[in-house]
A and B are shown apart, each in its own frame.
Chain A
Amino acid sequence: MTDERTEELASARVLGALSAEEAQMLDRQLQDDAELRALVAQLRGVTSLLAGTSTALQPSAQRRAELMRQLDEPEAAAARETPASRRWLPWALAAGFAMLCLVLGWQTNALRVRLEVAQHRLNELNRLADTLRLESADLRQSVLTLQQSNRLANMRIALLASQLHADPQAVAVSIWDNERQSGVMVVHHLKPPPKNKDYQLWIIDPGYPTPVDAGLLQVDPSGNGRVEFKARRPIQSANQFAVTEEAKGGVAVPTLSALVLAGT
């Protein structure tokens, strides 16, 4: 009569869930216990039925043909035949050497195997870490690219041409970031305004009936200037930019007759 402990071992054995020591212990018992062998045989049948609950897949004809070809190929070791007359000598030497190695290397071999297993595991982990690092870098790059392309999509770049007959070389470039609701304007060759006047920047958004005030624009005596600006009201679509000459400190509504620069 098989006891519960042995039934536990047999059940776990056929599922491959025993430790190496437990499996060895059971295997020793199996040699002398026919009843236990019968139990293991039946439980192994159970695992076959358990395996059969997997979704059915049919091997391809190509794999079948490959396998049949492989059956005809001799194993690597079998392929290297040695004449029978000389066969004993290497075997004798190898046996002697093996015995020597066995005695001398018994303990170190066990350690080496464990070291190899640990090394193999470490290599696997390193490979996994490398893969994850690469994937992470790829993802970061993709996110950056997407952010950049998205930001560019939200950018409005306009060239503003002079509207002054007396100062036709004046020119400006405006870059507006709709997402951040801010922009930068760079001006060249625009004569400074009279002392009681200021240049004022406007954004034309079709969502508003009048241009939106974007602040004052300062230029140096040589006519160059750079200003970071924000609109006084939220901008949906910056269709056009303009610079007018207004009273000192700026005005709420632009004086269109004093248009200095304009562009889309």
Chain B
Amino acid sequence: MSDPNGTGNDHDGQLMRRIRARERPAFLEFYDRYAALLLSVAARVLGNRPEAEDVVQEVCTQIWRRPEGYDAALGTLCGWAVTLTRNKAIDRVRATSRQRRLIEEVALSADSDESAGASANELLYGKERAARVRVALNALSSEQREVIELAFFAGLSQTEIASRLEQPLGTVKARIRRGMLKLREELGDML
């Protein structure tokens, strides 16, 4: 992400090179910068802080021990870490049959505009940019937001979403595509 705070691709690339070179200060920098974001997303998926902290610990350990898993051509270091965190959290949710609760929460949150407190984006990018993300999300249709959040936070596949919402699979795919491309367009300068 190109960002004046130094979270851009170049910075991520340098940070990752230093982590690969086993430089602990680089890893600490990574942790101090992104751990709050990772914890926030894990806690949102799991609904349980201690488990979310376990997941973040696993992800960070994995990044330190196997940094070769990161491919800069496929996104930022932050994006990779978020994906790892989200996937591990979803795996835990699936293993403990909590997905139904999560789906209900996601469905509820799709109807509300504001989250309970300051967002992780606010910590990472500041209020103004966090507000821009919120505005961009709110500019999506409720149907687009719903399918995107069910996929990302509840871990449902497109087929599962179609079945749950009783919509044709093609409709769900189109909503996800249009929603994601619209967000990319709105937030392009932050990516």
Contacts and interface: CB of A to CB of B under 8 A. Distances in A.
Interface stretch (A51-59, A185-193, A208-216): A51-59
Interface in B141-180: 148-149, 151-152, 155-159, 161, 173-174, 176-177, 179-180
Contact of A59 (B39, B76, B87, B95): B39
Interface in A1-58: 4, 7-8, 11-12, 14-19, 30, 34, 37, 40-58
A56 B155 contact: no
A54 B180 contact: no
A15 B119 contact: no
Contacts of B43: 54-55, 57
A48 B176 CA distance: 16
Contact of B73 (A19, A37, A52, A58): A37
B191 A42 contact: yes
Contact of B87 (A12, A16, A49, A75): A16
A63 B57 contact: yes
Nearest to A20: B157
Chain B, interface size: which category? 35 or more
A125 B148 CA distance: 28
Contacts of A47: 79, 82-83, 86, 152
A19 B31 contact: no
A45 B76 contact: yes
A257 interface: no
A50 B148 contact: yes
A196 interface: no
B187 A7 contact: no
Given A46-B183, A59-B39, A53 B119 contact: yes
A239 B97 CA distance: 56
Interface residues of A, number: 47
B79 A7 contact: no
Contact of B176 (A15, A37, A40): A15
B61 interface: yes
Contacts of A41: 73-76, 79
B90 interface: yes
B24 A71 contact: yes
Contact of B35 (A64, A66, A70): A64
A50 B137 contact: yes
Interface in B30-81: 31, 35-37, 39-41, 43-44, 49, 52-53, 56-57, 60-61, 64-65, 73-76, 78-80
A7 B181 contact: yes
A124 interface: yes
Contacts of B57: 63, 66-67, 70
Contacts of A120: 95
Contacts of A143: none
A129 to B, nearest CB: 11
Most buried by B among A7, A42, A68: A42
Nearest to B152: A15
A48 B1 contact: yes
A128 interface: yes
Contact of B53 (A8, A17, A50, A63): A63
A53 B79 CA distance: 14
A63 B60 CA distance: 11
A18 B11 CA distance: 30
Given A48-B78, A56-B118, 5 more contacts: A7-B181, A16-B151, A48-B75, A51-B85, A53-B120
- A-B pairs, top 6 by smallest CB distance, nearest first, are A52-B121, A44-B75, A45-B191, A17-B151, A44-B79, A11-B180
